[in-house]
A and B are shown apart, each in its own frame.
Chain A
Amino acid sequence: MTAVDEVKIGGMGASRRRVEDNRFIRGKGNYVDDIVLPGMLHMEILRSPLAHARIRSIDTSKAWAMPGVRLVLTGETMAARNLAWMPTLSYDTQAVLATDKVRFQGQEVACVIADDPYIAKDACEAIVVDYEPLPVIVNPTQSMAEGAPLIRDDKENQSDNVIYDWEVGDKAGTDRAFAEADLVSKIELHYPRSHPSPIECCGSIADFNRATSKLTVYLTTQAPHIIRAAVALVAELPEQMIRIISPDIGGGFGNKVPVYPGYVASILASILLERPVKWIEDRTGNLISTGFARDVYLQGELALRRDGRILGVRMNTTADHGAFFSDAQPSKFKIGLMHSAFSCYDIPNAHLVARGVYTNKAPGGVAYRCSFRVTEAMFFQERMVHAAADDLGMDQAEFRRVNFVRDDDFPHRTSWGFLTDSGQYGKCLDVGLEAVGYQDFLKEKEEAAKRGRLLGIGISTMTEPLGAGNSREYDILGIKMFDSAELKIHMTGKALLRTGAKSQGQGHETTWAQIVAHELGIPAEDVLVEEGDTDTAPFGMGTYASRSTPVAGAAVAMVSRKIRAKARKIAAHLLEISEEDIEWELGRFYVRSQPDRGVTIQECAVAAYSNMPDGMEPGLENVAYYDPPNLTWPFACYIVTVEVDPQTGVWDVLRMVAVDDCGVRINPMIVEGQIMGGLTEAYAMANMQFITFDDEGNCIGSNFTDYLLPTAWETPGFELHEVVTPCPHHPIGAKGIGECAAVGGPAAFVNAVMDAVKGSGVRNIDMPVLPDRVYEALQTGQDVSGAPPVRMA
């Protein structure tokens, strides 16, 4: 007998087909809206049409009088139970239902619970709210202006609209670097407000059973255990009596981390009515009220030496957080991990100043497919790098190479304090340049220019911190960011694995089983993976920030190793030999001196229930909690070539080359899927997406006609390449990959367009790089910067 063949059993490196797709492609997924409970009622939310207004009165009498209406909730009802406000994940408060004022368009004002959703919707329209309009603030400039109206007059000690001022780095050292610089390259950028827009909007079914006192909530959440704790605290219910079930989730992208008013209201409604209450958000509700992303302004400066070395970096960011500071992020860092910018470059001095402000816009600031503002950080970094290389008159690739942290410099402490531990940045860049045919393209570009055609090439290289946390530095509301896995090997050698993470499309049911297969030699198809039920899953912090594989995935490896350690003892007993004389190969223990004599892991499993050694606890089950020593640091190099039509400003992507180094790939097909999805989102952000507001605070981008999701038709083809530098501290050498492409991709597209229009003197066009903005820049020779203009018909 020999070891089992790892690829055959669907272990590491197998492009195993996704197990979950069996039900998804058959339409047999089980999403919150698919769940129907006996006696279930339906809830609808009445939202504010105004962005800033005092509520004079709310008249719900007509709604109450409508047949089929069971309950109408307003801020007053909530306040009577101390539920009008709830804590956010960033130590602020957020209105559940407005009591005093509405602070953004779309804010939740009242809820109707009725026999069906149509009655509830009609009844919402019958509620009469008397608003007294107040001056509206839609951007940081207005927010910080002298005499600006105070948005958060509900908060004691809040006398202006500033949420925080935060600073990191060495100011004095950075000032010296700038004083010594041959050249200072400056640029102002805006990362526009966007929205994660999962295909499934948010929703909940709260089911409070008076007889048992148990509250069960089916919820669209990426982090069920955090929600359980939050519900226990907010609703003052005993935690063992709360069960959060996160069934199939139709995409999250950070949008499904926060607690939303609709969740809280449906829970209260179920407690009051003692019947299940379902709330399913519509698309507009999702786009105008739930966690948005980005909306950050940058003033960036690089201190440069003539030979291309970066001596220092200054970043000054202003973030527009909307009406409530409800970013989901580690409490230590006010602007998330913005200071992870420039981590792939060896820069001696850096200083970051960050300010956050309130505006009359929806709250959120969620980490849309990234770890807490890393997307903004890397976009700003690569736009600054591109502009600096141009200012120096240096080749884009060469400028990056000169400043990269070198392969033999690890571990490397960045000037803002992160510890990067591995990478082959130069090699990734080489692979990318080679794939795109860099030198040839530069020649082609020159030739085309002679005929009036505008070709351009853009590069984006970056390493980003993925996989929050380690518990020393990362917590959400004080809860440390570790994760967990529980593995039960049944008597027949089949297994059940549960983790504290929660898949929303990432394919955990497939990859977790592959890790078990890799560690134990049990075929992946024999491992059932379950997540998302707080009554059964071990405690974990959920899935976002690319943390599943770095943290929960590591826990899966660790719990498998615990199981293997016990199985080894059982094997020794079965083989009647001392444990020290036993060797392991995939799926099997054998006697070192007699390799033919062995027992399989499955035989050990049977014995764990039928023939265990004296004094050993029966069973073959265990739990592991994993606290990673560091973040993981994948690297990516994205290169885009474009042609710009000078007459219309339309730009077409000619090629997009992606080189990703995410360490060891568990399931290469799933990794590629993640990269392609991320690149599509990157293309969307660069090309078409933004949510903006007119002067009155009306949200432009409240449906999919205004807020665009790209389809397969216009999304360019992507050419994927890989480099593998294993993560030195992860048990199986994996790094995060869920987010790299969405984080690093946008700058590659924008840089390519900037390269194409370089001759016109234009240094910046802010995203989305719409044709009319390109046309305007080409016509005027001026930058088109700032928030996308709100131009109303």
Chain B
Amino acid sequence: MMKLRFASPEMLVDINEIPDLDYHRIDDDGSIRVGAVCRHADLERSSLLATRQPTMAAAAPLVADPIVRMRGTLVGSVCHADPQGDWASVMTALDASIVAQGPNGRRSIAVRDFVRGPFQNALAFDEVAVEAVVPAPKGEPAGGYLKLERRVGDYATVGVAVAIDRVGSQVSRAGIALTAVGPATMAADAAAHALTGRPLTTDTIGEAAELAAQAAQPKTDHRGSADFKRQLVRVFTSRILTGLLRSEEEAA
């Protein structure tokens, strides 16, 4: 932004030195908290996410490239509100929220309300985001993240985040959100709804994939045509869910 002279702020606040913001942890209630200076690389290498939060674990290694992952943060990425950013969709699919702190104390804002539009967030000018909170799962969490990029470090042509919780074989909660196929991160609620309260089957998967494709509002650009991008949403949604169904069948 600054390099391209889109933004020329008079003052920059470096939050790197604020102590104890580099955490990510699971609380007793089962919610996962990610501090404002926790790096993508920490999440990529996290054994906590690997065992407890599969959607985040799948997304972390796909964000940018290794150099950017060493420096960038999840919270910063959500604040940045780039429609092509990966974390905002992952957080949306997980019904996560951002905790903001300002002179009047703290407040919590659901990520889907937090991201207001391209490069716009809901923070007041005197607030900072201090952490992201992923609520406790309503069952056994499962999910994935798939992304088409032209090369490592490229922004997504299309990204799909799927996060479901299961009790037995019933889907107790589902979230699906889409990267780079609209003016902002897109929540594919109808697609998620089609999964909720039912077991995963080839039929429900097909239905959800179709609804996700319909929720996308892609534009034709040099990364591909709108039709192609919608097809990718369909295929990625279906592939993630089919993978979950297979592992469920294998476990049974």
Contact = CB atoms under 8 A, between A and B. Distances in A.
Given A647-B235, A711-B65, A772 B225 contact: yes
Interface string B206-225: 00000000000001111111
B11 to A, nearest CB: 18
Contacts of B154: 705, 708
B185 to A, nearest CB: 17
Interface in A421-457: none
A788 to B, nearest CB: 7
A653 B65 CA distance: 21
Contacts of A650: 148
Given A647-B235, A772-B228, A711 B152 contact: yes
A700 B225 CA distance: 16
B231 interface: yes
A168 interface: no
B151 A714 contact: yes
A788 B222 CA distance: 8
A772 B223 contact: yes
Classify the interface of chain B: helix, strand, loop or mixed.
loop
A313 B230 CA distance: 43
A775 interface: yes
Contacts of A709: 151
A688 B228 CA distance: 17
5 contacts: A648-B235, A700-B222, A708-B154, A709-B151, A776-B225
B114 interface: no
Given A647-B235, A649-B228, A772-B225, A711 B151 contact: yes
Contacts of A700: 222
B242 to A, nearest CB: 12
Interface in B224-239: 224-225, 228, 231-232, 235
A195 to B, nearest CB: 15
Contacts of B152: 711, 713-714
A59 B146 CA distance: 52
A790 B220 CA distance: 9
A457 B220 CA distance: 31
3 closest A-B pairs by CB: A772-B224, A713-B152, A772-B228
Tier of interface size on chain B = 20 to 34
A543 interface: no
A493 interface: no
B87 interface: no
B155 interface: yes
A709 B148 CA distance: 16
A710 B224 contact: no
A770 interface: yes
A709 B153 CA distance: 10
A25 interface: no
Nearest to B236: A648
A36 B212 CA distance: 57
B222 A790 contact: yes
Contacts of A705: 154-155
Contacts of A775: 228, 231
B150 A791 contact: no
A648 B150 CA distance: 13
Contacts of A788: 222
B232 A648 contact: yes
Nearest to A706: B222
Interface string A779-793: 000000000111111
Nearest to A791: B220
Given A711-B153, A713-B153, 12 more contacts: A647-B235, A688-B150, A692-B222, A705-B155, A706-B222, A770-B150, A771-B224, A776-B225, A788-B222, A791-B222, A793-B219, A793-B220
Contacts of B155: 705
A647 B231 contact: yes
Contacts, number: 55
B231 A648 contact: yes
Contacts of A649: 228
Contact of B151 (A708, A776, A792): A708
A94 B231 CA distance: 47
Interface in A505-523: none
B202 to A, nearest CB: 16
Given A648-B235, A775-B231, A793 B221 contact: yes
Given A705-B154, A771-B148, A791 B235 contact: no
Contacts of B220: 791, 793
Contacts of B65: 711, 713
A78 B80 CA distance: 45
Nearest to B231: A775
Nearest to A701: B222
B235 A688 contact: no
Contacts of A647: 231, 235
Pick the most buried of B65, B152, B157, B222: most chain A CB atoms within 10 A of its CB: B222
B1 to A, nearest CB: 13
Interface in A724-771: 770-771
Contacts of A793: 219-221
A649 B228 CA distance: 9
Interface string B136-159: 000000000000101111110100
A714 B151 CA distance: 6
Interface string A227-247: 000000000000000000000
A487 B228 CA distance: 61
Contacts of A688: 150-151
Interface string B148-184: 1011111101000000000000000000000000000
Nearest to B220: A791
A490 to B, nearest CB: 45
A711 B153 CA distance: 9
A791 B151 contact: no
Nearest to B150: A688
Contacts of B231: 647-648, 775
Interface string A677-703: 000000000001000100000001000
A289 to B, nearest CB: 18
Contacts of B223: 772
Given A708-B150, A771-B148, A792 B221 contact: yes
Contacts of A706: 222
B78 to A, nearest CB: 20
A791 B228 CA distance: 13
A459 to B, nearest CB: 25
A416 B114 CA distance: 66
Contact of A648 (B148, B151, B219, B222): B148
B224 to A, nearest CB: 3
Contacts of A714: 151-152
A709 B221 CA distance: 19
A731 B183 CA distance: 64
A193 to B, nearest CB: 13
A772 to B, nearest CB: 3
Nearest to B234: A647
A791 B153 CA distance: 22
Contacts of A710: 151
Contacts of B225: 772, 776, 791
A791 to B, nearest CB: 4
A690 to B, nearest CB: 9
Interface in B42-62: none
Nearest to B235: A647
Contacts of B221: 791-793
Nearest to B238: A647
A415 to B, nearest CB: 40
Interface string A172-185: 00000000000000
B123 to A, nearest CB: 26
A692 B222 CA distance: 9
A612 B65 CA distance: 64
Contacts of B232: 648
Interface string A133-148: 0000000000000000
Nearest to B224: A772
Pick the most buried of A647, A648, A692: most chain B CB atoms within 10 A of its CB: A648
